[in-house]
């Protein structure tokens, strides 16, 4: 079992920055992929970025490419989401997700991954 706990959400004005953190605990050695998804009010979950731990590769949704960056700290089992140039449309609940199953690709639908945290809210005002 893996537990994920997000932190760092809050309110910021458009153009500002926030950094979210996701601390993983439990069977962290089994984690193959880590990612972030979000859900805006009244909308479906949207995968925004992921990192393959074996390859170290990252990819991002077009909506956040160039503004958001995922990084990790292996020593603390923490993955970060640095969000710059925030826009009001980035307002959402942000969730960390993890995948340990070897038959699930790190490029698969983030909303279907095995583990998800409780989320942290981000509000961007104009």
For every one of its 126 residues, what pLDDT tens digit does the chain have, with 9 covering 90 and above?
A: 999 999 999 999 999 999 999 999 999 999 999 999 999 999 999 999 999 998 889 999 999 999 999 999 988 899 999 999 999 999 999 999 999 999 999 999 999 999 999 999 999 999
The tokens describing 17, both together, are 């920055």
Assign 68 to helix, strand or coil: strand
The whole-angstrom separation of Cα 118 and Cα 42 is 18
Task: Report pLDDT digits (tens) over 41-63.
Answer: 999 999 999 999 988 899 999 99
Are residues 81 and 94 in contact, defined by beta-carbon separation less than 8 angstroms? Answer: yes
């Amino acid at each position: 079992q893996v537990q994920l706990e997000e932190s760092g959400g809050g309110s910021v004005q458009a153009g500002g920055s926030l950094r979210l953190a996701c601390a993983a605990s439990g069977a962290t050695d089994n984690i193959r992929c880590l990612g972030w998804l979000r859900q805006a009010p009244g909308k479906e979950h949207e995968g925004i970025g992921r990192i393959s731990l074996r390859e170290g590769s990252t990819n991002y949704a077009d909506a956040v490419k160039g503004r958001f960056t995922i990084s990790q700290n292996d020593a603390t089992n923490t993955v970060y989401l640095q969000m710059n140039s925030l826009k009001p449309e980035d307002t959402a609940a942000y969730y960390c997700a993890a995948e340990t199953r070897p038959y699930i690709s790190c490029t698969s639908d983030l909303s279907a991954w095995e583990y998800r945290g409780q989320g942290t809210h981000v509000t961007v005002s104009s």
